[in-house]
Amino acid sequence: MRPVLLMAVAALALSACDGNPGPQQRGPSPELPEPQRGLLPDMRIPRPTAWGNDRPTVPQGYTIQAIATDLRIPRQTLILPNGDILVAEGTGGNAPSLRPKDFIAGFIKSLGKTSVGSGNRLTLLRDADGDGTYEFRRVFAENLNAPYGLALANNSIYVANQDALVRFDYREGQTEASGPPVRVAELPSAINHHWTKALTVSLDGRFLFVGIGSNSNITERGMEAEVGRAMVWQIDAGTGAHRPYATGLRNPTALTIQPDTGQLWAVVNERDEIGPDLVPDYLTSVREGGFYGWPYSYWGQNVDPRAQPQDPEKVAAAIRPDYSLGAHVAALGVAFSTPAMGEAFAEGVFVGEHGSWNRNVPTGYRVVFVPFRDGRPTGTPIDFVSGFLNGEGNARGRPVGVSVDPRGALIVADDLSNTVWRITASR
């Protein structure tokens, strides 16, 4: 690395948490500051450290335990009908850097990651006697290509690899795949600036929804690189035919279906490099045919002049998201709760926030609960699982996917400590 770049990296990596984290940014009506532009954005990521004898913090009346450790980058989880848990392990991407700041950002991000290699597999966990200890563990399928999204329907387990949607035949109680995966549909994988492919399935099992992130922060690679990206695809489970379901979603990293309505919801990671408090990552219902702003605008009609050429008609049509999670929290998981999680957390969604790399004051690094009323998010989010940052500002874990067991447990994948956590109400 050149000396000038090395100095910039060192200064940014060592910068202290020395500022106000910004205006109130969480909820249905966030305060949005003026954009800030500079030669380099703020870049600071907490360094990894071990949990030791500690564990994450949960609300009074709840307990947390590690049910699987020494995994290979656990990302998303799926609760199977018999209570087994399927874990997608791996990482992908490797888009080339375009600018010196991209190289620096890549280096900064690498400082906050696990040193473990990509699993490229699915692992099954089983608690045979229901005592909360998952004593059985087996690789369900391997040699996958950065698996991420998981869904169950039509007697099949669907897996969103970084390059394709595939499926495995499944019968309840099965502990390993009975054969190689069947390819359902190709997914965009050239460059793969954002490689994760989120996944969920309609209540009737007819359609799969896949979240596909952009190939840049704000179209630096040109619009031709964004064909089929920054959107949610709808895929016919039977034929593999696909179409854009909603567009302008920069990086929809997790999808879920609202159980009582069938409405599709997403958490979305927004754009960078216009300040530590812009742009809010968000939770939103996803309308069929809707456009959500990227790259031309953010949070409705706030124009981003970096997107060229501008498109005023698109800006005018941009849908304002339902709920701000705050800028740069990097939400990577979302799941609707059930009454079995306890009265205080019965109606709403859990969101896994992987944590910022581009703020002097780190944000995220927690699982929050967003309360719902009358089917919509409202009020202030509640920290449900926290303590991933220690008192020195180092990271002991980074939450990714979240799943709710209907019997009353929240399952959290942590891809820094390579752990799956289980949170339940104390008995």
pLDDT of residue 15: 31
User: Residue 2's pLDDT is what?
Assistant: 40
User: What DSSP line would sit under 322-343, residue for residue?
Assistant: SEEEEET--EEEEEE--GGG-G
In this predicted structure, what is the pLDDT of residue 95? 87
Going by C-alpha positions, the residue among 187, 185, 206, 186 that lies closest to residue 197 is 187
pLDDT of residue 12: 34
Query: 414 pLDDT exceeds 90?
Result: yes
Q: What confidence category does residue 23 fall into, taking pLDDT thresholds of 50, 70 and 90?
A: low
Q: For the structural domain made of 47-425, what CATH number should be given?
A: 2.120.10.30
**Does residue 41 have a pLDDT over 70?**
no
Under the banding of pLDDT at 50, 70 and 90, the label for residue 324 is: very high
Element (H, E) at 125: strand 121-126
Question: 43: closest CA among 271, 357, 392?
Answer: 357
Tell me if 116 sits within 8 A of 91, measured CB to CB: no
* pLDDT value of position 13: 35
Q: Is the pLDDT of residue 294 over 80?
A: yes
Are 89 and 73 contacting, i.e. CB atoms less than 8 angstroms apart?
yes
Q: Which parts of 276-379 are beta strand (E)? A: 280-285, 297-298, 302-303, 323-327, 331-336, 348-353, 366-373, 376-377
> Which of helix, strand or coil describes residue 106?
helix
* Percentage helix, strand, coil for the chain under 3-state DSSP, each rounded to 5: 10, 35, 55
Angle at 40 between CA 39 and CA 46, to 5 degrees: 170
Predicted pLDDT of residue 313: 98
What mean pLDDT is predicted for residues 300-316? Answer: 96
State pLDDT tens for residues 346-375: 999 999 999 999 888 999 999 999 999 999
Nearest to 142 by CA among 125, 118, 164, 165: 118
C-alpha 246/C-alpha 234 separation (Å) is 9
Q: What is the pTM assigned to this prediction?
A: 0.93
pLDDT digits (tens, 9 = 90+) for 188-247: 999 999 999 999 999 999 999 999 999 999 999 999 999 999 999 999 999 999 999 999
Burial of 5 (0-12, 13-18, 19+ CB in 10 A): middle
CA distance 381 to 24: 12
- Residues 103-113, mean pLDDT to the nearest whole number: 83
Looking at residues 142-166, what average pLDDT do you find? 98
322 versus 2: the higher-pLDDT residue is 322
Q: How many CB atoms lie within 10 A of CB 111?
A: 16
Report how far Cα 41 is from the mean position of its chain's Cα atoms. 22
51: pLDDT confidence band, cut at 50, 70 and 90?
Answer: very high
